[in-house]
Amino acid sequence: MSDRGRGTKSELGVGEVARRSGVAVSTLHFYESKGLIRSWRSAGNQRRYARDVLRRIGIIRVAQRAGVPLTKIRESLDTLPDGRTPDREDWARLSACWRDDLDRRIGELVGLRDRLEGCIGCGCLSMKCCPLYNADDKAGEQGVGACYLEPR
Amino acid sequence: MSDRGRGTKSELGVGEVARRSGVAVSTLHFYESKGLIRSWRSAGNQRRYARDVLRRIGIIRVAQRAGVPLTKIRESLDTLPDGRTPDREDWARLSACWRDDLDRRIGELVGLRDRLEGCIGCGCLSMKCCPLYNADDKAGEQGVGACYLEPR
DNA sequence: TATTGACCTCAAGTTTGCTTGAGGTTTTAC
DNA sequence: GTAAAACCTCAAGCAAACTTGAGGTCAATA
């Protein structure tokens, strides 16, 4: 009998990793092709993973949900010596960095929401000063438009 | 002499709309192909826009920044009678709806950030209880993994 | 008038993050 | 021993939101 699902093995097959991590097998292949995770092969050419690949995948998903693109995640993971899965300090560093990103994006959205609020209340839709968009001639003269909500 | 840039015309060419709205000409073509904006043609088959297209584009960009996909934006704009550019009440309704979305997404990101915070502090990277990911056998038994950060 | 710049259409390409499918091998289960 | 389930590779497809390019027309200006 196989010990699939018993968690006693020190190496995992792709199906088991998929099941435990919640990502599809095809996604694991894809991550591997992008250098985000690693595996070695069994005698029959099947992928084998160390258990800590689950941690790595967890980290990848967390970062993704925080809006970090895969290339950046890969870069971050690549900064770790010998490509190991992050220990506590590494994790603190990585997540702090991603959190800055997250903070920035939250800030942007909150700012946007507030301006949205303001404009709902003020009914300035047709005004020249509307902070949500600018359809007046000033914008034309400046050669820019709708710039208030799209700074930078 | 043309009156380009003077803002005296009641109809606008595609280049002028691009310049004033800050979006590329190709994007305007694209929006039109998706039914987000409209134009009529000059004798020489060139696009002509009513001035309020700038408002519409502003609204589109605002909604996009709030994370609303173009298809949804189109649907919202399509709910307006005769496809007019929203007046104050319409605007309030649309933006309130989009803001709900925005609120939800902000909430998600904030929750994620908080959990990230917690995990930086607790150093639980290797623990079975880590709320950021779950690489232990319980997850294996449950047939799910890394589920704490990916509810639903 | 002639030249440039703005505009036209339509098809195809780009990026990100995967999924699907075809065709074939390996492992497991009975 | 054999069938089914799991795995393999590689190519192509998908969705969103655009951009780029080719080949050709229109319009403003010197």
The domains of chain B, with CATH numbers, are 1-86 (1.10.1660.10), 100-152 (no CATH)
What is the nearest nucleotide to B1, using C1' and CA?
Answer: D28
Note the strand D nucleotides within 7 A of protein beta carbons: 6-10, 16-20, 25-29
Q: Is the pLDDT of residue B4 over 60?
A: no
Token output for A10: 């020190």
| pLDDT tens per residue, range B58-88 | 889 888 887 889 999 999 888 877 666 667 7
- Establish if A24 touches chain B: CB-CB under 8 angstroms: no
Question: How much is the pLDDT for A101?
Answer: 79
- Establish if B19 touches chain A: CB-CB under 8 angstroms: yes
Check whether residue A33 has its CB closer than 7 Å to nucleic acid strand C.
Answer: no
Find out whether B73 and B64 touch, Cβ atoms under 8 Å.
Answer: yes
Question: Can you tell me the distance from the alpha carbon of B65 to that of A94, in angstroms, rounded to the nearest whole number?
Answer: 27
Q: Is the pLDDT of residue B128 over 70?
A: no
**Reported pTM:** 0.73
Question: How much is the pLDDT for A138?
Answer: 33
Question: How much is the pLDDT for A120?
Answer: 56
Residue of A68, A106, A93, A75 lying closest to B119 (CA atoms): A93
**pLDDT above 70 coverage of chain B, percent:** 65
Residue of B112, B124, B117, B123 lying closest to B149 (CA atoms): B112
Check whether residue B45 has its CB closer than 7 Å to nucleic acid strand C.
Answer: yes
Q: Looking at the DSSP assignment, which residues form a beta bridge with residue B50?
A: B11
Question: Can you tell me the distance from the alpha carbon of B34 to that of B31, in angstroms, rounded to the nearest whole number?
Answer: 5
Low-confidence ranges of chain A (pLDDT < 50): 1-7, 123, 125-129, 133-152
Alpha carbon B102 to its chain's center = 10
B55, B141, B150: residue with CB nearest A5: B141
